[in-house]
Structure formats: structure tokens, C-alpha cells
Amino acid sequence: MSQPARGAFGAQAAMQVAKASYDRCCADAGFLRAFYDDFFARCPEAKPRFAGTDFERQNKLLRHAFGILLIFPNQARTEPSVLTRVAERHSRRDLDIPPALYGPFLESLIATVGRCDPEFSSAVERAWRETVAPGMAYMRAKY
């Protein structure tokens, strides 16, 4: 009988932990606002990019993007991927979001999850980082 690959099982478990954490964060009405507050404080050069933004609409887009990042590792590596449209929108050909902004974005996400998930732990943090890493790499590569 064949055993599942350790890495694949680990990735699946990490994805489940991160998704459960995300569900807990979404139960906090201030989650997305807290994320943006942290992101703009951590990365002031990003704030002007949001001038005139309809944050009600933007919050829906961000919630959707977080969801896609959390399922991306489980998707086939074919094009177009579930992240293609988001990556194209953020590429130099559209919004021109430089790859250097993804680091502060991730750190703000982790910090906000740490504040909003009542079950946050080092294991939950590790699960988030492992789960979103492939999607973040994809976004950087598609710049």
C-alpha cells in the first residue's frame, strides 16, 4: 500500500489550518480594516495606490484574493490558474504593484491574523506562511 507523500500531506494539513484560521478572522468585522491599517503603517508607499478606492468593493476583492491564495496550492499548475486574473491586474501591465510590496503585504496579513484569530499560534502562523507562499511566488513571477 502506498503512503501519501509527506510534503503533500503536510501541505494539505497546513491549508486546512490556514483556512480554519481565515474563517475565524472573517468572523471579526474589523479584520480587513485592521489589515489595511497595518499594511499602510508597515508600507507607507502602498497607501497612495489606494487613493480614491471604494473600500467596500476593495474589501470584497481582498476577501476573494485571500480565499484564492488559500486554495492555490491545491490547484493544478496549468494556465490560466485561479490566480491569473489577480496576478495580471497587479502586474506592471495594469496596477504595477512591484514584487517588493508582497513582503510587507504578507507580514501585515500574518500580524493581522495574529490579532484577529483567537486560536492564533506559531503553528497557525506556519500554516499561513506555507499555504500562501506558492501564490505569493506566482504573483511575483507574473509581475
CATH superfamily of 6-141: Globins (1.10.490.10)
Does this model's pTM top 0.85? My answer is yes
pLDDT tens for 74-92 read 998 899 999 999 999 999 9
- What are the extents of the domains in the chain? 6-141
Name the nearest CA neighbour of 86 among 59, 64, 71: 64
pLDDT one-digit tens code per residue, 7-18: 455 889 999 999
- pLDDT at site 9: 54
Q: What pLDDT does residue 4 have? A: 35
